[in-house]
Amino acid sequence: MTPSPTGCPVQRRRAAPALCCAAALLLAPGEAAQAAEPARVVETRALSRQLLPAAPGATHELRLFLYAFRGSLWTQRKIEPAVLEAARLLAQCGVALAGAELRLLEAPRRFHFYSTPVSRELLQDLRVSKPAIFFVDDTLNRPAYDAEAIGLANAATRPELANTVWIAHGARDLPLALAHELVHLLSDSGEHSEEPGNLMRAETLRDNTRLSDTQCRRLREHGEANGLLAVKR
């Protein structure tokens, strides 16, 4: 697998169900009419500030905007713990999670799956706050990946997707996968590490949680420069 310039995706451990492909490609007349309807935010839920992990000595703040689809496989109970644990991993770099909002989308079924052309279409019509994390039922891209981050460096051919992360339901080690992709995104880099125990090893494992001083410095510098991190006041 050749890394992309920014978010090197995590290989999907299982194939996308054939039913998903059929649902996305073969629409009944009623479904075709629904597919023409625009996506919209129907509910916004802020994560309780009491749940946000402490980050002593943090120099930067991160606010995340989470998007899930009504009627999808994802629930707040699945998303929230993963986001909080990912934030704890980023705290070692002096980054504190200052807030997170979960925005529930009402959208045609085909948008519930990550596919570069269809997801670009979604974001052409839907104004989203960034960095944005989309929790999708599966991916229709081939090869298929558990998660993918699109920063600025690899968004030239898909500018609508810049500064977004896409997480497929069933991603293994979800908090680690999410943190891994956020590092790619904030650093605007697809680099991996061969250091034992490093979060940015090519494959996410439960023991891979550490980030080096160099990785943290790049994350902070590029995250701030690209407007994804704010200096903590």
Amino acid 8: pLDDT: 54
Report the predicted TM-score, pTM, of the whole model to 2 decimal places.
0.87
Task: Provide Rg for the chain, Cα atoms.
Answer: 17
Burial 191-213 (b: 16+ CB within 10 A, else e): eebeeeebbbbeebeeebbbbee
In this prediction, residue 95 has a pLDDT band, given cuts at 50, 70 and 90, of: very high
The mean pLDDT of 42-49, rounded to a whole number, is: 96
Judge whether residue 22 has pLDDT over 70.
no
Amino acid 36: pLDDT: 61
Q: Are 181 and 165 spatial neighbours (Cβ–Cβ below 8 Å)?
A: yes
- The CATH fold assigned to 41-231 is Collagenase (Catalytic Domain) (3.40.390)
Q: What's the one-letter identity of residue 42?
A: V
The mean pLDDT of 22-36, rounded to a whole number, is: 45
Amino acid 1: pLDDT: 31
Q: What is the pLDDT of residues 50-83, one digit of tens each?
A: 999 999 999 999 999 999 999 999 999 999 999 9
Amino acid 38: pLDDT: 86
In this prediction, residue 16 has a pLDDT band, given cuts at 50, 70 and 90, of: very low
Rounded Cα distance, 48 and 164, in Å: 23
In this prediction, residue 11 has a pLDDT band, given cuts at 50, 70 and 90, of: low
Q: What is the pLDDT of residues 126-159, one digit of tens each?
A: 999 999 999 999 999 999 999 999 999 999 999 9
